[in-house]
Amino acid sequence: MKQLIAIFDLDGTLIDGYQAIHAAINRMLRTLGYKEIGIDLIKRSVGKGEIDIVSRFVEQQHVREALTLYRTFHIEELPHKSVLKNGAMELLEFLRKRDVRLAVVTNRVRQTAEAVTAALDIQRFFSMLVSEEDVKEPKPDPEGILSIITRFKGDTKRSFYVGDMGIDLSAGRNAGVPTYIVLTGSSRRSDFSEDAFPLLFEDLDAVRRRLSFDFPELS
């Protein structure tokens, strides 16, 4: 039997990086002479990469400069304004002890993905990290998930994906892997259609309990 592969999203799933993103965006906006924005708007705007989020808040002629500023400020804010989601460390330890291969697929750029996983001491769990630069098409395209399974010489039936947004649900479904969505990020139950409800979980502890049911060897 092939080794089980666990693939995770980062933001909203394993980590809470909203405060760091919020601080970086507002520093960028202040520098360029724009008004600051609230964190609730940030939470509704993340998930599709740096260019997308920056483009939402500045005029087109300022996007390039804004992106440079945001990247600088974001790296500075990440180490002290990012935290692990409740149950994240416990779930990663649980899976590693059971010889599950762990990987990340994120729409973050590699620099910030590696910086935040290192700062929160979870980089050591992952055998592979697929970032925005590593794929032709980001999530909801399944390319990142499938590239991990291929690299590990795995099987979609022996792999699963954990995320927190609609694009994560689509990515997992498009890849043909069991998919679990935690309601700890920027999406709420009302954002999903009824056919997604069996895949929605309040937190990572609930996901861990379900994994033990779906994959008996994890019990």
Using DSSP's 3-state secondary structure scheme, residue 185 falls into coil
Average pLDDT over residues 103-121: 94
The reported pLDDT for the residue numbered 172 is 97
Helix (H) or strand (E) holding 116: helix 110-119
Residue 99 has pLDDT above 80, yes or no: yes
According to the model, what pLDDT value does residue 179 have?
97
Residues 14/84, Cβ–Cβ less than 8 Å? yes
Q: What secondary structure, in 3-state letters, does 118-141 show?
A: HHCCCHHHCCEEECHHHCCCCCCC
Q: What local confidence, expressed as pLDDT, does residue 54 receive?
A: 94
- pTM (whole model) above 0.85: yes
CA quadruple 205, 206, 208, 209: dihedral sign: positive
Pair of tokens at residue 193? 């259609």
Q: What is the pLDDT of residue 75?
A: 93
- Give the pLDDT confidence of 137-193 residue by residue, as tens digits: 999 999 999 999 999 999 999 999 999 999 999 999 999 999 999 999 888 899 899
Do residues 184 and 85 make contact, with C-beta atoms less than 8 angstroms apart? yes
